[in-house]
Amino acid sequence: MKATSATVIFLILTISLLHSQNFRVSSPDGTIEINVKLTDRIYYNLVVDGREVMWYSPLSMTTSQGTLGDRPQVIGDKITSADDSIKTVWGSRRMVSNHYRQLELDFQGGYRLLFRAFDDGIAYRFLTELGGELLVYDEEIEYRFWENHKMINHVVDSYTTSYEKTYSRQYISDVGVDNLISLPSIIDVGEFKLAVVESDLYNYPGFYLTRKGSHNRYYLNGSFPKYPKKWEPGGHGLFNLIVEDREPFIAKTVGKRAFPWRALVVARADKDLVDSDLVYKLARPAEIETDWIQPGKVAWDWWN
């Protein structure tokens, strides 16, 4: 019965995707491709070397001023590109190459979506042009796969964690609905690996991965901690703030802003995961003057 229901849902979704607006953007070298489909919702997929690695996955944001992505109406679209360099203040390179192609979709209702395709990954983000204060109740982040891929995960007990647990190897189907996976999470899709990451988080919570709904599907979902309502000092040496109650929303912010990037690193070899600058490239430029800072040495940097 469960398998039959899943099949029916799959067929309904497939038919709806056939009646859609379609947009596409590819990486500068042409090996990575994002396809966006608009029906009653917004879906996107990931194609690498001609193979659909991630099936069409939905994205949306539920706010106090409406749901972004519900019955989307495009009022403008354009593709742009960039090929420049970013000067670093630390790391293994003095200059980072920032080469990508971007699809921008402008929607009725005061919001936009940016999709960027790099030679080593993809990313997307929401931008809003709304007035006043904005409460974000939830953001839909989902990764849909055809197969039960292996993963390398840092599974934690709650949204409050020291990030010091041992990484585990598991399949997508092994991820329980009550599990939380901190980022980055590595997904082995065969010829290459994907790293789930995010960038440019300001006045917004970081997300974790989990699984929602039927275990017959190889879907991963984003999960967010709710906004703190009441907290007290606690933990070792009272260094922590222990949240005792939470609001029904995940973020309280302004209506005109850029939201964090949701990204996937595409690594054809394990060394490419370490070598990727994707998160750095997606971060906003430094907003402070750093020329006066001189390199030095420090001991016990964790304590200081």
Residue 160 pLDDT level (bands cut at 50, 70, 90): confident
Residues linked to residue 263 through DSSP beta bridges, in sequence order: 123, 197
- The 10s digit of each residue's pLDDT in 112-151 is 999 999 999 999 999 999 999 999 999 999 999 999 999 9
Residue 225 pLDDT level (bands cut at 50, 70, 90): very high
- Which residues, at least 6 apart from 227, have a Cβ–Cβ distance to it below 8 Å? 205, 246, 247, 249, 250, 251, 252
Look at residue 122 in the predicted model and tell me its pLDDT: 99
Is 129 within a domain? yes
Is omega for the bond preceding 28 within 30 degrees of 0, making it cis? Answer: no
Is 291 within a domain? no
For residues 225 and 219, give the distance between their C-alpha atoms in angstroms, rounded to a whole number: 20
Look at residue 212 in the predicted model and tell me its pLDDT: 84
Look at residue 214 in the predicted model and tell me its pLDDT: 61
Domain count, the chain: 1
Is 301 within a domain? no
pTM: 0.90
Asked whether residue 167 carries a pLDDT value surpassing 90, the answer given is yes
Is 106 within a domain? yes
Look at residue 290 in the predicted model and tell me its pLDDT: 79
Average pLDDT over residues 28-55: 98
For residues 101 and 26, give the distance between their C-alpha atoms in angstroms, rounded to a whole number: 7
Look at residue 120 in the predicted model and tell me its pLDDT: 98
Is 303 within a domain? no
For residues 251 and 263, give the distance between their C-alpha atoms in angstroms, rounded to a whole number: 20
Is 221 within a domain? yes
Amino acid sitting at position 3: A
Residue 304 pLDDT level (bands cut at 50, 70, 90): low
Q: What is the CATH number of the domain that holds 265?
A: 2.70.98.10
Is 299 within a domain? no
Residue environment code for 172-196, b if the CB has 16+ CB neighbours within 10 A, otherwise e: bebbeeebbbbbbbbbbbeebbbbb
Q: Which two tokens stand for residue 106?
A: 């402008």
- The 10s digit of each residue's pLDDT in 172-218 is 999 988 899 999 999 999 999 999 999 999 999 999 999 986 666 89
- The 10s digit of each residue's pLDDT in 83-101 is 999 998 778 899 999 999 9
Mean pLDDT, rounded, of the chain: 92
Residue 298 backbone class (left: φ over 0; alpha: ψ -120 to 50; beta: rest): beta
Is 300 within a domain? no
**What range does the domain containing 251 cover?**
2-282
Look at residue 233 in the predicted model and tell me its pLDDT: 94
Look at residue 302 in the predicted model and tell me its pLDDT: 67
